[in-house]
Amino acid sequence: MNPRETLTSPRSEASAGNVAGTAARPEAETAAPVISVEDLAIAFPSLDGRETVKAVDGVSFAIAPGETFGIIGESGSGKTTIGRALAGLLPPTGGTIRYDGEDLRGMSRRDWRDRRRRYQIVFQDPNAALDPRMTILQSLIEPMKIAGGRSPEEMKAEAMRNLDRAGLRAELADRHPHELSGGQKQRVNIARVLPLNPRLIVCDEVVAALDVSIRGEILNLFAELQREFGIAYAFIAHDLAIVAQVSDRIAVTYLGRFMELGPAEAVTERPLHPYTAALLSAEPRPLPAHLRAPRRIELKGEIPSPVNPPSGCRFRTRCPHAQGLCAQQAPEWREVRPGHHVACHFAGPDGLVEHASQQSSAKTDTGGDHR
């Protein structure tokens, strides 16, 4: 079974002309967002408590019902922090998150929990949400118990239905997590959230810890559930090829901000931001021919510290196209193609404007062919 063929991506239903902030899917253009984020900021105290780590520093977007919203970026760029905030696990230090139009701040704890339940997260580590002392059946029942409103018999019947829906045999219900494979545990994690009738699931590197041979099967399960229940996904991953395949739109994250956001096809085939172009060209695994960059763009150095990000454009210390202006002024977040936003002074509808790309061509590493 070839997962690339069987994964019926929602992207295939995407339309090119989506409106900024809504999904690429035609039916979603008018739908009210499942989640809308405005100027989100999340800061942590540094280890010594003397500085502030600006993990997320002003991002805005909205996810429509049934949309898959991909989030990519290097390690430390703030992907998980955004995901945890969407699932209500981290309070924003700035900005607003609206869940189906509602700002949950100021609600009673009980109301907040009732609302938040429908915005779930599945983690990279299949063990993260499973108690090793519980049987699989107990793990499946636990979220329903917390939610309340079902009898023990109803909970058991629902758990067994979801076990089956997630592609697991009934006999696994009496086992403990250590008796299951990573892929089976990830299926249990998915089955656990189904009774909560999720509107959005944050998928944080959900297949990264799994054997390559079963990744496609788990992605297929996510895609099937999306078609069946209209669940929206915030799909976080390092693996550009997977994000490109499953997402309707992709946001490219760098040092706590979005550099680019647009329809998946446009972002991967005609990237507007130099960072996106560099990520695409550095992809170590073979990308489909149409996504391969003609030459490698070397990203020098590490991602800077979010305690003290560079002035102006925060990508400038690693950008092969950086110019004087880039240090002085932060680029505006502009919509340069329909539904396609970018934060770069020199990005136009056809990519970088000529003088920037000409200046940079001498600095571009043409040595490594990553095909």
Ligand X SMILES: Nc1ncnc2c1ncn2[C@@H]1O[C@H](COP(=O)(O)OP(=O)(O)OP(=O)(O)O)[C@@H](O)[C@H]1O
Positions in the binding site for Mg ion (CB under 5 A): 79-80
In the complex, least distance from residue 315 CB atom to ligand X, rounded to whole angstroms:
15
User: Which of 57, 226, 346, 364 lies at the binding interface for ligand SF4 (CB under 6 A)?
Assistant: 346
Q: CB nearer to Mg ion: give 23 or 37.
A: 37
Tell me the CB-side half-sphere exposure of residue 309, using CA atoms within 13 A: 19
With tokens 């062919």, the residue in question is 369
Nearer to Mg ion, 80 or 364 (CB): 80
Q: Which of these segments, 104-112, 233-241, 278-286, 341-349, binds ligand SF4 (CB under 6 A)?
A: 341-349
Residues that bind ligand X (CB under 6 A): 44, 53, 55, 73, 75-81, 306
Nearest-approach distance from CB 90 to Mg ion, in angstroms? 13
- Asked if 315 touches ligand SF4 (CB under 6 A), the answer is yes
What does DSSP say about strands 52-63 and 35-45: parallel, antiparallel, or unpaired? antiparallel
**By the rule CB under 6 A, 257 interacts with ligand SF4:** no
CB of 210 to ligand X, least distance (A): 16
The total of other beta-carbon atoms located within 10 Å of residue 140's CB is 27
Select the residue interacting with ligand SF4 from 42, 345, 351, 364 (CB under 6 A): 345
Residue 152 is encoded by which pair of tokens?
A: 């023990």
303 touches ligand SF4 by CB under 6 A: no
- Minimum distance from residue 349 beta carbon to ligand SF4 (Å): 15
Closest of 200, 204, 201, 168 to residue 183, by C-alpha: 168
Residue 167 or 348: which CB sits closer to ligand SF4? Answer: 348
**Quick one: angle between helices 152-165 and 136-147, nearest 10?**
120
Phi and psi at residue 291, to the nearest 5° = -100, -5
Q: Which does 53 bind (CB under 5 to 8 A by kind): Mg ion, ligand SF4, ligand X, none?
A: ligand X
Please tell me the number of Cα atoms within 13 Å of 64 on its side-chain side: 21
CA distance 224 to 216: 12
Selection from ligand SF4, Mg ion, ligand X, none that 233 binds (CB < 5 to 8 A by kind) is none
Query: Quick check: 73 binds ligand SF4 (CB under 6 A)?
Result: no
User: Nearer to ligand SF4 by C-beta: 119 or 346?
Assistant: 346
Non-local (6+) Cβ contacts of 307 within 8 A are 46, 51, 52, 53, 54
Cα-based torsion angle of the residue sequence 335, 339, 340, 346 in order, rounded to the nearest 10 degrees: -20
In three-state secondary structure terms, 112 is: helix
Q: How many CB atoms lie within 10 A of CB 235?
A: 26
Interacting partner of 274 out of Mg ion, ligand SF4, ligand X, none (Cβ under 5 to 8 A depending on kind) = ligand SF4
Residue keyed to tokens 């701040």: 105
Residues 6+ apart with CB under 8 A from 207: 186, 215, 218, 219, 237, 239, 242
**Residue 220: its H or E element:** helix 212-229
Cβ-based nearer residue to ligand X, 24 or 55 = 55
Binding residue for ligand SF4, selected from 79, 84, 215, 316, defined by CB under 6 A: 316
- Among positions 73, 264, 319, 351, the unique one binding ligand SF4 when judged by CB under 6 A: 319
CA 138 to chain centre: 29
Compare residues 305 and 359 and give the one whose CB is closer to ligand SF4: 359
Q: How far is the CB of 80 from Mg ion (least distance, A)?
A: 3
Stretch that binds ligand SF4, among 131-139, 242-250, 298-306, 315-323 (CB under 6 A): 315-323
Identity of the residue, 185 or 345, whose beta carbon is nearer to ligand SF4 in the bound complex: 345
Nearer to ligand SF4, 65 or 320 (CB): 320
Q: How far is the CB of 260 from ligand SF4 (least distance, A)?
A: 10
Q: What is the C-alpha separation between 183 and 213, in angstroms, rounded?
A: 10
Interface contacts to ligand SF4, rule CB under 6 A: 274, 313, 315-316, 319, 321-322, 326, 331, 344-346, 356
